[in-house]
Structure 1
Amino acid sequence: MSKFLQDSSFAKDSNPGSVGKKRWGLWVTGVVGGTLIALYAVATPFVIPALRKICLPFVPATPAQIANVLKMLQSRTGSLVDIGSGDGRIVKFSQYTNVVVFGVPQMMPQLEDKLLSELQITAKVIACRFPFPTWAPEHMTGEGIDTVWAYDAKSFQNGHCGGTFPAAAEAQRHCNQNTQ
């Protein structure tokens, strides 16, 4: 049996350069594997958004567009939420009095419905680059990609007085004040 082990390639390698080849192969495998892991880590944040139902590309706001938004909100107070510049988290809009939307046309109808059902009557919505499909803006400023539309919740809440509002008591007070 020992003669078998001595003659076998298991006992010793007859080619002294094969140890170097094995190390070289391990080194190449490590480099290729590490490169693939790094590529995966870098590419994942860019690929995952493309798998969403509505693909939202990253388009930075221009300084003129930001100035237009600030102009529309100049006399406003209260809480503010910025939609479209984040990671897609679900937001309950009833707690906000000011909503700024950086959206794309594909998402505007769904967002319009959500805002309609959740916003307080005193809220203001600012849409950047793309208007809402069925709402009439109170004011519009800017040109081209810097265009900003302002909407008051009282103007799009189900036909004003007599409609259904998230804050029904507040809506009724508002309607009573405007009819006297």
Structure 2
Amino acid sequence: MKTSVMSQEELFLDSAQTGQSNVRESRSRSRLGLIVTGVVGGSLVALYAVAAPFVAPALRKICLPFVPATTAQVENVLKVLRARSGTLVDIGSGDGRIVIAAARHGFQASGFELNPWLVWYSRYKAWREGVHHSTSFHISDLWKVSFAQYSNVVIFGVPQMMDQLELKLAKELPSTAKVVACRFPFPTWVPEHTAGEGIDTVWVYDAKAFKSQLQQVVTRKTMSAPEDTTDSQT
């Protein structure tokens, strides 16, 4: 009888110990799950904090999200400008890859970008690749900058801005300049030639031609303006 009672007590103790062990294991798994969730969540937040300044468009009149130039696009730009030299500007320079590549090919290259994170990153890349003496990067809105000093212009634009940019560049650039448009052509200018295909296509425009076109438009508007028919009184 005593043996039977002891067996029941032992069974009860074993059951209690097993229950406590399961509770401890459950709590341990719960804590581990919270730790893993915290690490993953923290990593995602950190990744977003690092990446967001690069991929998010800067505040501007026309939204230009950062889309890096492809290797083919960079090669096409350099190809169409291989016989050129002097100053070059990349309008909306992003992470600076066009400017840095142009500097390696002998250009004194500048980039204008409204996103400060991209500008600082571009400066670091230029320094790391040893072309910082031939490059400069500026945090600026393209509509507030004059491009009169540049003989070569590269632009990665969007259709909504190209007609306005046509007028700006036609007024400011010297007649010896060349303009290279990537991804989207200018709406009324006639390209001198093109290179590449698909999204990697680049269009090359001669400033002398589009400045002459602008002058013709201005002349036609002037000639078609109504004359002042106000009678003079004597």
CA distance in 2, matches of 1:62, 1:47: 15
Matched, 1:116 2:170: yes
Q: Which amino acid aligns with 2:64?
A: L
Are 2:78 and 1:70 aligned? yes
Change (3 A) 1:108 1:163: closer
- Counterparts of 2:191 and 2:167, CA distance in 1: 16
The alignment partner of 2:179 has SS state of: strand
Structure of larger gyration radius: 2
Aligned to 1:148, which of 199, 202, 207? 202
Higher helix share: 2
Q: Percent identity?
A: 70
Q: How does 1:46-65 map to 2 (within 5 A)?
A: 49=57, 51-65=59-73
Gaps of 5+ in 1: 1-34, 165-180
Partner of 2:212: 158
Kindly provide the amino acid, as one letter, of the partner of residue 135 in structure 1: W
Structure 2-normalised TM-score?
0.48
Q: Which letter does structure 1 place at the counterpart of 2:212?
A: N
- Say what the alpha-carbon RMSD is for the aligned residues: 2.9
**Residue of structure 2 aligned with 1:129, choices 164, 169, 183:** 183
Structure 1 equivalent of residue 226 of structure 2? none
**Counterpart in 2 of 1:4?**
none
Deviations 1:18-61 (A, max 9, x none): xxxxxxxxxxxxxxxxx9xx899668736973643211111111
Q: In terms of mean alpha carbon deviation, does 82-91 or 60-69 score higher?
A: 82-91
Give the corresponding residue for 2:107: none
With normalisation by structure 1, the TM-score equals: 0.61
Question: 2:165 aligns to what SS in structure 1?
Answer: helix
Amino acid at match of 1:49: P
Answer yes or no: is the 8 Å Cα contact 1:128–1:148 preserved in 2.
Answer: yes
- 2-side partners of 1:109 and 1:141: how far apart? 22
Taking structure 1 as reference, are residues 122 and 40 closer, same or farther at Cα in structure 2, changes over 3 Å only?
Answer: same
Q: Does 1:106 align with 2:160?
A: yes
Residue aligned with 2:168, SS: helix
